[in-house]
Amino acid sequence: MTASSEPQREATSRRRFLAAAGTAAAVPAAAALIGGGPLAGTARAAAPGGLTDYAPVPPGALGPALNADGYFAGNISGNLYWVTDSVYQAMFLTTRDGVVLVDAPPTIGHNLLRAISAVTQANSSPAKVTHLVYSHSHADHIGASALLGADVVRIGHSECRRLLLREADPNRPAPTVTFDDHYVLETGGERLLLDYHGPNHTPDNIFIYAPDHQTLMVVDVIFPGWVPFKNLAVSQDIPSWIRAQDVAMGYPWQTLVGGHLGRLGRRADGNLQIAYVADLLAGARATIASLDPTPFFARYGNNSWAIFKAYLDAAAAQVAAPVTAKYLGRLAAADVFTADNAYVMFESLRVDYGTLGPFGNHP
């Protein structure tokens, strides 16, 4: 692909299309350019009302049907279970002394207790949640933790405690049992290994491994069947988040609880996401070497931010187009978040990996 002509042409045709559809005024320029990147590649049209139409979700990306209460609870192996509302996931271990719950997403909320009650009734074990493990401090994964009451043992990374003490959110009491590197939770004849491998999605995100069940739970790192959530899962440390995928694959798991969406993960899901992310990084490297910034300097003169915005938007579109085309149909929502993921990858290449391209070394 030569210089910037392709993304510019795409952007122009998109703008024309949006104007024709009468939606241009309702769609911010950035959304039209970034969010619209995959539109051109997949020939999708805006639905009536101005909402973008996307490719159907491949059936293999979807999980089991939800029950009338809006959740699905399933057995993973032995006393290990998972629960989902098809967007979020939690995991729990029943033991002869009570239940160990990992995460309490507010979207599942009281259905966590319903799921635990149904499962423990069926396997004749105590329903009381004795331990709550925090995968990380984010409210969307642990914000229903207050449901578990005051006498549950709350376990998380020491950084998770620091962050939650700072937030002072009544829905997220800080963990009281903390660790820095490794923690073995043994209770009622069951065990979980909690490992910290440094910052990734957040500074406190941990790996929770159930060795007797060959199951790993790590949240916001691998998204089975789907492309990563917007901006590479809104991760705070992109190079470490990329490495965290490999750290996850280093565990001998057969089942992954990713914390999101409707189904469990298999090892092939991890490998496919790693390939997708590697393609984004390779595309970013190729784009920064080939995309000519001259038109943006010429057009915007002394408006430095306009130059950067136009350049970065064009770069993201150029990175995203072939990746979207390659993974559409293999990863759900490749046409939804690949442009955003490409944008963040390109910025990370510049500022984290230090490949600054035209905004780098002064001649």
The DSSP secondary-structure symbol of 318 reads H
**Residue 87 CB contacts under 8 Å (≥ 6 apart), including other chains:** 107, 260, 261, 262
Q: Helix 267-290 crosses helix 334-351 at what angle (to 10 degrees)?
A: 60
What is the smallest separation between the CB atom of 273 and Zn ion, expressed in angstroms? Answer: 16
What is the smallest separation between the CB atom of 235 and Zn ion, expressed in angstroms? Answer: 8
- Nearer Cβ to Zn ion (160/264): 160
What is the smallest separation between the CB atom of 352 and Zn ion, expressed in angstroms? Answer: 19
Gyration radius (Cα) of the chain, Å: 22
Distance of CA 335 to the CA centre of its chain: 15
**Contact by Cβ (8 Å): 123, 96:** no
Say whether 217 sits in a helix, a strand or coil.
strand
What is the smallest separation between the CB atom of 169 and Zn ion, expressed in angstroms? Answer: 14
Q: By Cβ distance, which residue is nearest to Zn ion? A: 138
Query: Tokens representing 138?
Result: 């984010």
**Residue 5 CB contacts under 8 Å (≥ 6 apart), including other chains:** none
Looking up tokens 């939690």, which residue turns up?
90
Query: Tokens representing 325?
Result: 């085309």
What is the smallest separation between the CB atom of 232 and Zn ion, expressed in angstroms? Answer: 12
- The overall longest dimension of the chain from CA atoms, in Å, is 73
**Contact by Cβ (8 Å): 334, 229:** no
- Nearer Cβ to Zn ion (131/201): 201
- Nearer Cβ to Zn ion (85/220): 220
What is the smallest separation between the CB atom of 52 and Zn ion, expressed in angstroms? Answer: 25
Query: Tokens representing 142?
Result: 């642990």
- Nearer Cβ to Zn ion (137/348): 137
What is the smallest separation between the CB atom of 244 and Zn ion, expressed in angstroms? Answer: 12
The Cα–Cα gap between 22 and 275 comes to 38
Q: Name the residue type at position 116.
A: I
- Nearer Cβ to Zn ion (220/340): 220
- Nearer Cβ to Zn ion (88/209): 88
- Nearer Cβ to Zn ion (14/161): 161
What is the smallest separation between the CB atom of 206 and Zn ion, expressed in angstroms? Answer: 12
Distance of CA 173 to the CA centre of its chain: 24
**Contact by Cβ (8 Å): 90, 219:** no
> What residue ranges bind Zn ion (CB under 5 A)?
138, 220
- Nearer Cβ to Zn ion (131/136): 136
